[in-house]
Structure 1
Amino acid sequence: MFTRRERKEAGQGYLFLLPALLILGVFVIAPILYAVFLSFHKVELLGGANYEFRGLDNFLKVTFDDRAIIALKNTAIYVAVVVPAQTFLALVLAASLNAGLKGQKFFRVVYFLPTLTSSAVLTLIFMWMYNQNGLINYVLKIFHLPTYNWIGDPDVALIAIMIMNIWATAPFFMVIYLAALQDIPDSHYEAAELDGAGAVQKFWHITVPNLRPVTSFVVIMGIIGTFQLFDQSYIFSGGSGGPNNSTLTVVLLIYQYAFKTLGTMGYATAIAFMLAIIILVATLVQRKFSKEESLY
């Protein structure tokens, strides 16, 4: 049995927690539960809510939806290319800026500037650069290299988004690596120098192994972020996922089914839950893989 004082203290504690619990319940838990409900129904939200129970049909429908398969394929390719590239670039930039080079503070600021730019503004800038008469093709012409229709060519459009996002996101992870590099003792590098190790050997045998926990975090954050690609693809294609569905991603497809097509809100919610499961599984696999690596 609780004493009167203990009950009073517990009541005061829950009273202080109440505002946070209300916000969490209204804006997080309730929408998740409502989304679970929607995923099992055919939903008509316009002209009065109308729900028709469909069971698992919304989830099974994905296997017959050609656009959903294309979106998943595009997203998987995007994740497989961007996550390793941005991780490696961030690590190289951090290591170079931590090497005591002249003017490194200036370069830290310059490299970090893309992260401070709005994603939409950054996309518009790159669309201007990717234009057929834009900056990139102009530079390619100077060096007598082939130019590309970066936005209109289905074979190049997704690659163009990849290049933009690698350039924009690597500086953010670079800052995380820079903070972690401060914890590696200088004695490790000094001992390696005495053994005759060069800069590349010190990087691969000292820097990289000591940054494994940070690399695991960076990869997991990269996986979560890249699977949720939406705004750049939406702006590049005008919301269509074109040309020829080459920039169609899973999140953009969810948006199209939820807000552009009548009667498919429940189907869009089902795709969203399947994407959440994919992200969860990919994250757990990465965590398990990183833990196994740390044993050696």
Structure 2
Amino acid sequence: MRQSYNKKKLKETGQGYFFMSPTIFVLGLFVIGPILYAIFLSFHKVQLLGNVSFDFVGMDNFLRIADDQRAQIALWNTLKYVVIVVPAQTMLALILAASLNAGLKGQKFFRIVYFLPTLTSSAVLTLIFMWMYNQNGLVNHILATIGLPTYNWIGDPAVALNAIMIMNIWSTAPFFMVIYLAALQDIPESLYEAAELDGANAIQKFFFITVPNLRPVTSFVVIMGLIGTFQLFDQSYIFSGGSGGPNNSTLTVVLLIYQYAFKNMGTMGYVAALAFALAIIILIATLIQRKFSKEESLY
């Protein structure tokens, strides 16, 4: 009896894997395979043009990162971008969601308007902002009209990265706003009614009911924001014409990887090491964030 049961279970397992085999094949070929190959390349000096060669160099590619000044600049720019953009877009998304969930007139119209930046192509959005950031563009015109100083948003190394930050906070917050809006529907209305009976005002209800009940969603939003911001590429590439300028002020790790990979094919092993190091940094940042979110949920 037990033997027939084991045969039946084995048969069902085999059928399951058979039906899953197309998906497993695609994941293995296009996801797992490239990841393993990139790890393999990161430990080799690779020559892909002419006489293809793979020379094992151990940790040399990773040690080279510490001596690469452009890699250090790119990492610093990326970290600064992440530290500013992730909290800003998260708070803005939460505030927008709470405002639209408050039952204001025309909230359906404003939901559509706020979400429009998310539907716009990143490249098109960047070109629009470059036009707005022009020295004689809309942004400087508004600043001059209200008596504030104007800036060379694209050509000044002290301002260029900030210009990209402002653009991305404005364009990505609506996506996370929709996630918060969905989560707000699950907060029991009785909690707000009880708070009103206790004399709580709107701000107190927001900080003592809304924010604590949205902690799991906030954790998800922050993790998604970390992954997305660490991978900044297209806006930096378009803003600087692929150079990461002015003066490397918009150079990010992914843009540097692109430059080394497609402008100097002989450094493919080093490129793989940079990509692998970035993946480790993203993983560590995600794990730290998850740990803090779990500790907060205990209280």
Shorter-chain TM-score tier: over 0.9
Match of 1:243 in 2: 246
Structure 2 counterparts to residues 49-198 of structure 1, below 5 A: 49-198=52-201
- 1:19 is displaced (CA, Å) by 1.3
Match of 1:209 among 208, 212, 215: 212
Match of 2:267 in 1: 264
RMSD: 1.3
Percent identity, aligned pairs only, is 78
Distance 1:128 1:48 in 2: 46
- 1:179 is displaced (CA, Å) by 0.4
Q: TM-score when scaled to structure 1?
A: 0.97
Does residue 289 of structure 1 match 2:268? no
Distance 1:82 1:132 in 2: 24
Most deviating of 40-49 and 149-158: 40-49
3-state SS, counterpart of residue 27 of structure 2: helix
C-alpha offsets along residues 238-280 of structure 1, whole Å, 9 cap, x if unaligned?
Answer: 1110000000001111111111123111101101111111111
Match of 2:236 among 214, 233, 237: 233
- 1:5 is displaced (CA, Å) by 5.2
3-state SS, counterpart of residue 263 of structure 1: helix
- 1:4 is displaced (CA, Å) by 5.8
> Which blocks of at least 5 consecutive residues in structure 2 are unaligned?
none
> Matched residue pairs, number?
296
Distance 1:8 1:107, change over 3 A: same
Distance 1:64 1:45 in 2: 24
- 1:9 is displaced (CA, Å) by 4.0
- 1:7 is displaced (CA, Å) by 5.0
Distance 1:99 1:270, change over 3 A: same
Distance 1:67 1:148 in 2: 26
C-alpha offsets along residues 177-231 of structure 1, whole Å, 9 cap, x if unaligned?
Answer: 0000011111111111112111111111111111111111101110011000011
Distance 1:204 1:254 in 2: 42
Q: TM-score when scaled to structure 2?
A: 0.96
Distance 1:5 1:202 in 2: 57
Match of 1:280 in 2: 283
Distance 1:211 1:6, change over 3 A: closer
Letter in 1 for 2:38: A
- 1:50 is displaced (CA, Å) by 1.9
- 1:13 is displaced (CA, Å) by 2.8
Distance 2:174 2:228 in 1: 15
